[in-house]
Amino acid sequence: MNIIVLGQYVQGLVAGATLAKAGHSVDILNFPDGEYVEFYESCKTGPVTHIPIALPQKIIRDLDFKTYGFELPKNPVKNPFEKLPFYEGLKMLVAMFIGLEENRPSYKEKAWRDTWNTFEIGRILSFQDEAAQNLFARSATLSLMELLDATDLSEDDKVEIIAYSVVGSKTDPSDKGSAASILPAMAVFEKKDHVVITGSLHQLVRALKQAAMANGANVFTDTMIKQVKTVGNMVESVEMTDGQELYADYFIFDYDPIAFFNGYIDDYSVPVTFKKRISPDANTKECLHLKMALSALPDGLDEIQSFVAGDEGYIARAKHDMREDGGSQFPMLSIVNISGKNPALAKDKTAVIDVIAQYFEPGLEELDKGPLMAVTQALAKAFPDIESKIIHSEVALPPTQFGQANFIGTMPLLQLFKVFSGYHTMGYDMPIDNLLVAGYGSGTSGHYHVNDGGDRIATLLQSL
C-alpha cells in the first residue's frame, strides 16, 4: 500500500513511522510553515503545544523513541483536576464519553451518531447513583466559575483548572454550560498507559522523523507541499514546490484543517456545505501566538508551562474586553518555556518563550503594537523583571491555533460529541474518501480526539 502523510507533526509522524514499520511505502511531506524557523539571531520557534499531549506508551516502545534522542520528561505534567472534590465522579463522566466512540455502531450520518450518543448517555446514567447524575447535570448547565465556586479550592487552584479547561479555546468560563469544558480537558490526563507532555515538540518531532526514516519512510526536507490535487471525491496526487508530483493510495493529513481545505485542496472538489463549515469566517480565532527572545528567563518562570490569569474573574473580564474592544488589556496567557536548555532553539545567554494570548481578535489592526503592548503588560504584572529581559518579540502570522469548541448554552452535548469523537468544527463527515485526519497540526495535537490520531489511522489502514 502506498501512503502519503501531509504534515510532519506528531500525529502524522506517528502514523507514517508506524505504517513504514509495518512494511508499507510511506512518503512524509511538510507544509511551508512546518519547521522550526529562526525569528531572531539564532532563536527559533516552531511546533509547540499549549494543551497537554497524551502519548501512548505502546507507541513510545514500538518506535523506540529513546534510541532517537527523545527522553520522557523527568517531572511529568501533574493532573490539576485531582484536586476537585468530585474528581471521581468526573472520571466516570470522562470514561462515559470515551466509551461512546469505542462502542457506537458505525453510523455514517452525523445526526444518527448524535442521536445514538444522546440515548446511550441516558442509558449509562440510569445505572449511576444520584450524585453522578447530578454532577452531569451541573457540568452541563452551570458556568465553569459557578461549578468551582461551589468548592473550597484555593483561588490559585481554581485559576489553574479554568486555564487548563479553556486554553486555546473560545470558551467564556462565566457562560452557562461552560463547566462541561472540564471533561475534555481532564480526559487527556485520564488515558491509561499514556504519558502526558506539554511544551516544545522539537525533540519529539526530531525523534519521530528519525524513527520514520529508520523504518523505511521517505521524509521530505528540501521541498514542500504546494497543492493537493483531487479527482471526484478522491485525492489523486500532491504537487510539490520543486515540481514533483507524488501519487498514493491513501493520504493522511496533520494540519490546521481550515488552512488545509482553504489553501491546498481544489475548490471544486469540496461540497459547498462543507466549505461553509470550515470557512475562516465561520471559525474566528480568538488567540494570538507570540514569539519572544529573552536574555534570560524571568524569576518564577521555571516550569514547562505557566499561566497568567490573575484570579477567577480575570479570564471572564478578558473575554468581555474582547467582545467590547477587540482585545483585552490584560489577556489570559499560556506561556511555554520552549527553549529550556536546548541549544538548538536558543543561542548562549538567550531563552525563547512561546506565548498564546487568549481572547484577542487576530483581525485587529496594528498587530505589532497593540497586542504586543497588552501581552508585555500582562507578563510584567506576573513577572516584574521580564521587560528588561525582552530582546525581541513578534506576533506569529498567520495565527497557528485552531480554536476548540465554545462551551455555551444549557446542554452542550453536541460540543462534547465534537470534542470527543468528531472532527471538531469540520463535523463528522469527510468529503474525500481516501483522505484521513490524523491531527490538526503543530499547536493542536493536544485536542482529546486526535491524541491517538496517528495510532488510530495506522491501525485502520493496516486492517484494510
Count of CB atoms within 10 A of residue 75's CB?
7
Q: Which of 162-171, 360-369, 393-402, 403-412 has the lowest mean pLDDT?
A: 360-369
Measure the CA–CA gap between 387 and 371, rounded to whole angstroms: 15
pLDDT tier at 83 (50, 70, 90 boundaries)? very high
Cα 217–Cα 223–Cα 227 angle in degrees, nearest 5 = 95
Residues of the chain above pLDDT 90, percent: 31
pLDDT of 51 higher than 60: yes
- Read off the pLDDT of residues 405-444 as tens digits, 9 standing for 90 and up: 567 666 688 888 877 775 544 445 678 889 988 888 765 5
User: What's the mean pLDDT in 256-285?
Assistant: 78
351: three-class secondary structure by DSSP: strand
Q: Is 401 a domain residue?
A: no
pLDDT the model gives residue 445: 47
Paired strand residues for 358: 287, 332
Q: Which residues are CB-contacts of 282 (< 8 A; sequence separation ≥ 6)?
A: 276, 425
Among residues 451, 75, 28, which one has the least CA distance to residue 210?
Answer: 28
Specify the pTM.
Answer: 0.88
Q: What pLDDT is recorded for position 443?
A: 58
Burial of 347 by CB count in 10 Å (0-12 exposed, 13-18 middle, 19+ buried)? Answer: middle
Same domain? For 291 and 383 the reply is yes
**Is residue 404 one of the residues assigned to a domain?**
no
> Which range, 164-178, 242-256, 341-355, has the best average confidence (pLDDT)?
242-256
Tell me: do 275 and 309 sit in the same domain: no
CATH code (residue 311): 3.30.70
Between CA 23 and CA 111 the distance in angstroms is 38
Determine phi and psi for 347, rounding to 5 degrees: -75, 175
Structural domain containing residue 101: 80-190
pLDDT in the model for residue 201: 81
Examine residue 458 and state whether it is found in any structural domain, yes or no. yes
Average pLDDT over residues 72-93: 88
Query: Percent of the chain beyond pLDDT 70?
Result: 89
Is residue 143 domain-resident? Answer: yes
pLDDT at 446: 47
Q: Are residues 297 and 386 in the same domain?
A: yes
In a domain, 402, yes or no: no
**Residue-wise pLDDT tens digits, 100-129:** 877 888 777 778 888 999 999 999 999 999
Residue 401: pLDDT above 50? no
Q: Is the pLDDT of residue 241 over 90?
A: yes
**Residue whose C-alpha cell is 488552512:** 259
* Residues 302, 260 share a domain: no
The packing angle between helices 87-103 and 110-126, to 10°, is: 140
- pLDDT value at position 400? 45
The model's pLDDT over 283-341, given as tens digits with 9 standing for 90+, comes to: 666 777 888 999 988 888 877 778 888 777 787 788 777 777 767 777 888 888 888 66
Please state whether the peptide bond connecting residue 52 to the residue before it is cis, i.e. omega within 30 degrees of 0. Answer: no
Last residue of a domain, one of 165, 190, 215: 190
Residue of higher predicted confidence among 22 and 308: 22
Among residues 149, 164, 190, which one ends one of the domains? 190
Please answer whether residues 363 and 279 qualify as being in contact, where contact means their C-beta atoms are separated by less than 8 angstroms.
no
Domain co-membership, 203 together with 263: yes
Nearest to 218 by CA among 444, 443, 12, 17: 17
Confidence of residue 154 (pLDDT cuts 50, 70, 90): very high
Domain boundary among 174, 190, 206: 190
**Is 90 in the same domain as 229?**
no
User: How are beta strands 250-254 and 435-439 bridged, if at all?
Assistant: parallel
381 and 445 inside one domain: no
Q: What confidence category does residue 89 fall into, taking pLDDT thresholds of 50, 70 and 90?
A: very high
The pLDDT of residue 262 is above 90: no
Burial zone of 410 (CB within 10 Å; 0-12 exposed, 13-18 middle, 19+ buried):
exposed
pLDDT at position 200 over 80? no
Whether 168 contacts 401, CB under 8 Å = yes
The predicted-structure confidence for 25-42, as pLDDT tens digits, reads as follows: 999 999 987 677 888 888
Max mean pLDDT range (28-32, 69-73, 260-264, 426-430): 28-32
Q: Does the residue 403 lie in any domain?
A: no
Number of domains present in the structure of the chain: 3
Reading the block at residue 122, the C-alpha cell is 441516558
Pairing of strands 327-336, 351-360: antiparallel
**Degrees (nearest 5) of the Cα angle 381, 166, 442?**
95
Q: What is the mean pLDDT of the chain?
A: 83
Tell me, what DSSP letter sits at residue 265?
A: B
Average pLDDT over residues 263-277: 81
Q: What is the mean pLDDT of residues 333-361?
A: 81
